Amino acid sequence: MMKSIKTIFMVIMLSLCWVHGSQAATYYMRADGTAPNKEAATGPPSDKSKCMSVAVHNGAKFSPGDIIKISEQGGSIISQIIPPSSGSEAGGCITYAAADGESPLIDAGRRITSWDGTGTPGVYYSDPVDSYVNHVYEDGLPLKIASNSTCSDGNWYYNSSEFRKVYYKPTSGMPSDHIVSYAKNQIRGLIDLTNRSYIIISGLTIRNGEYCIINSNPSVNTSYLTIRNCVFNYSMCGIYMSMGGEITNSNLTLENNYYYRCQAANHLYGTSNDNYIIRNNIVEDGGTIDGIDRWARNGAWQDEEAFGLQNPVNCLIESNIVKGGFQKAIFLYANDGYAASNNTIRNNFIYNTIARAIQMEGDGNYALDNNRVYSNVIINTGKKGALGGSYGFYLRQGLNSSEMNYIENNVIFGCDDTYPIYLGFISGSNHYWTIRNNIIANYGSVAAIGIASYTNQLILDYNCWDTDGLFWLPSGQKTLAQMQALGFEKHSMVANPQFINAGGSKATDYRLQTISPCIGKGCPVGLITDFQGNKWRNPPSIGAIEYYKTGGVISPRTVGGSNYKQK
């Protein structure tokens, strides 16, 4: 109930932001705007003399409720946008949005325009550039890195000790035929929200950035930042929030965004991240530049994550789609002395990713308390080759944990490397995990579940496993009967769950056929609606989708894609 009240309050506050914004002043900005000040930037966007430049914007002051509309008509914006003012609870949010009917592009790549020949046919080198070049782009698309300056096995190479030169082999023609740019390992946001609150970013496309939108090490508490309907392409990180010391970032909303081939979609770090809503986002081919090859790092970090949250409290992660690439889909992490608690992860579709689907762990004396993970459909994740092992669920409890966590009514299909579910531990910690009503099917030959250690707090029951004899405990592999003799899985089964299209690429393929043994065999756990938004029966079925003869109502999240296209 408390979480519902907080969610309702956030929705009311965001609604107030839009109401106030509709009554306030509207200004226009474009890359080549010539308006001398904001007062002259009243539009229309087709007239650059009535639009401000980024520089004029960054030097101005805005009032709560103001709207800044960004136009595509002056070309791509390549300058850093730094909102100079915050909105307020009383006056409403300051909104940055695409001009009506437009799709403005913010292009973060740092241009390289001067090239000389190297002596190797078709290969050129630049004048000295920054240290730690992280990636090179040609016409907005990331190029494959080469192993040396001959570029025989790739299209670019950089050696920081060699006068900081970039070597480049065009995919066609000469360097002058292309726009060549690079990203470096630097926390520099194309939109920098540091120390800002009550800001809405909507309808923008950002590509080729080190970090697209940031709130990095603010000196004051920040709150009510909303990023919606945006596209992030070919960037090191889409959204980066990092709170230092005891600074708090609260009431962040990320919704309806599309992330394409970014090294990481969202890094939400810091000692306190409270009351986030993360919903209806799509992350595709994360961690890769082309769906296969991973990002070249050259000194950059290696956190390839779709949604990575540090010390989250009262956060809701729901109805997101993560597909393809080399990325952990959802990662909750607690630092030493902190907790990840009272979070909900529900109704997400995670498909065909190489690394772990859902990971919850921490460092030292941390706690994972009262987190609920339910009605998620996880298909073909945890593939061979993932750093640190794969797994569908990777769960590791901390020493300070004192409350139960719940993993219920999920589908895990096709984790073929190690374990669909792995329970790790820190010596001395208790296993506050309740794992019920899940379908775990089509896993590899290693094990269905790996339990490194367990205590009396661990509950396993009402699950459907499709192969027997693959329950791994410290004392060896067990059958279902042997697990039941130990007090686990009393009402569980080993059976084919009979999905309507096992192995399919849609979440709705994992509905149950009429002959499924999982129908009505679950334990009531207090859930109201399933993955599709249909009501659970009493008793419920095992799995993420309740059985209905007609298939039930299919919500848009199960069949839809993004309305936003990469540029």
In a domain? residue 60: no
Distance between CA atoms of residues 223 and 246, nearest Å: 14
Phi, psi for residue 92 in degrees, rounded to 5: 100, 175
Looking at this protein, which amino acid is placed at residue 2?
A: M
Tens of pLDDT, residues 50-80 = 999 999 999 999 999 999 999 999 999 999 9
| 3 state SS of 508 | helix
pTM: 0.92
Residue 57 three-state SS: helix
What are the φ and ψ backbone dihedral angles of 94, each rounded to 5 degrees? -95, 130
What does the DSSP 8-state code read for residue 178?
S
- What is the secondary structure of 346-394 as a DSSP string? ES-EEES-SS-SEEEEESSS-EEES-EEES-EEES-S-TT-TT---SEE
Q: Give 303-346 as a DSSP string.
A: --EEEEEESEES-EEES-EEEEES-EEEEEEE-TT-EEES-EEE
Helix/strand/coil percent split, the chain, to 5: 10, 35, 55
- Mean residue pLDDT of the chain comes to 88
| Whether 57 contacts 81, CB under 8 Å | yes
User: Is there a domain that residue 444 lies in?
Assistant: yes
- Is 538 inside any structural domain? yes
Based on the structure, what is the number of domains in the chain?
2
Which residue range is the domain that position 465 belongs to?
A: 334-350+357-550
Rounded Cα distance between 435 and 427, Å, is: 21
| pLDDT over threshold 50, residue 524 | yes
- Residue 22 above 90 pLDDT? no
Tokens read off for 557: 């999240």
What pLDDT shows up at residue 327?
A: 87
Query: Which two tokens mark 28?
Result: 């226009």
pLDDT given at position 5: 47
Query: Does the pLDDT at position 300 exceed 50?
Result: no
Does a structural domain hold residue 215?
no
Compute CA distances 463 → 297, 357, 475, 491, 496, whole Å.
41, 19, 22, 8, 12
Report in angstroms the alpha-carbon separations of 552 from 287, 378, 530.
35, 20, 10
On the question of pLDDT at 561 being above 70, the answer is: no
**Local structure of residue 35 (DSSP, 8 states):** -
Rg of the Cα atoms in the chain: 25
**pLDDT-wise least confident of 199-203, 363-367, 423-427:** 423-427
Task: Report residue 299's pLDDT band, with 50, 70 and 90 as the boundaries.
Answer: very low
**Rounded Cα gap, residues 163 and 172, in angstroms:** 26
Q: In the 8-state DSSP scheme, what is residue 462?
A: S
Contact yes or no for 228/256 (Cβ under 8 A): yes
Residue 361 carries which side chain, given as an amino acid letter?
Answer: E
pLDDT recorded at residue 554: 60
Query: Which pLDDT belongs to residue 565?
Result: 41
Contact at 8 Å (CB) between 278 and 317? yes
Of 108-112, 133-137, 514-518, highest mean pLDDT: 514-518
Residue 327: inside a domain: no
Determine, yes or no, domain membership for 204. no
Nearest CA to 300 out of 264, 259, 258 is that of: 264
Q: Looking at this protein, which amino acid is placed at residue 155?
A: N
Residue 452 corresponds to which tokens in the numbers above? 């490194």
Going by C-alpha positions, the residue among 73, 72, 76, 28 that lies closest to residue 53 is 28
In this model, does residue 563 exceed pLDDT 60? no
Q: In this structure, is residue 491 part of a structural domain?
A: yes
Provide the pLDDT for residue 302.
57
Q: How confident is the model at residue 520 (pLDDT cuts 50, 70, 90)?
A: very high
For residue 479, the model assigns a pLDDT of 95
- Relative to beta strand 493-494, strand 464-465 is parallel
Query: Which tokens go with 370?
Result: 């009262």
Given the DSSP bridges, would you call strands 124-126 and 358-362 parallel, antiparallel or unpaired? Answer: unpaired
296: pLDDT strictly greater than 70: no
Residue 34 has pLDDT above 90, yes or no: yes
- Residue 456's pLDDT is what? 84
Q: Which residues touch 29 (CB under 8 Å, ≥6 apart)?
A: 41, 51, 52, 53, 54, 57, 68, 69, 70, 71
Whole-angstrom CA distances from 540 to 120, 379, 526 are 67, 22, 10
Model confidence at 1: pLDDT above 70: no
| CA 93-219-221 angle, 5° bins | 45
> What are 189's two structure tokens?
């946001």
- Give CA–CA dist 421/444, Å, rounded: 12
Stretch 182-186: mean pLDDT: 75
**CA 446/CA 424 separation, integer angstroms:** 16
pLDDT reading at 121 higher than 50: yes
What gap in Å lies between CA 297 and CA 316, rounded to an integer? 31
Answer yes or no: is 90 within a domain: no
Give the percent of the chain with pLDDT over 70.
Answer: 88
According to DSSP, the β-strands at 439-441 and 411-413 are: parallel
Q: With a cut of 90, say whether residue 390 has pLDDT above it.
A: no
> Which of 81-95, 163-177, 521-535 is predicted least confidently?
163-177
Highest mean pLDDT among 138-147, 256-265, 387-396: 256-265
Diameter over CA atoms, the chain: 79
| Measured distance CA(558)–CA(549) in Å, rounded | 18
Most confident of 217-221, 451-455, 552-556: 217-221
Burial 139-150 (b: 16+ CB within 10 A, else e): ebbbbbbbeebe
Spatial contact of 470 and 447, defined as CB atoms under 8 Å apart = yes
Which pLDDT tens digit goes with each residue over 399-447?
A: 899 999 999 999 999 876 678 999 987 877 888 999 999 999 998 767 8
Torsion, CA 51, CA 54, CA 58, CA 62, rounded to 10: 30
Give me the mean pLDDT over the 480-487 stretch: 96
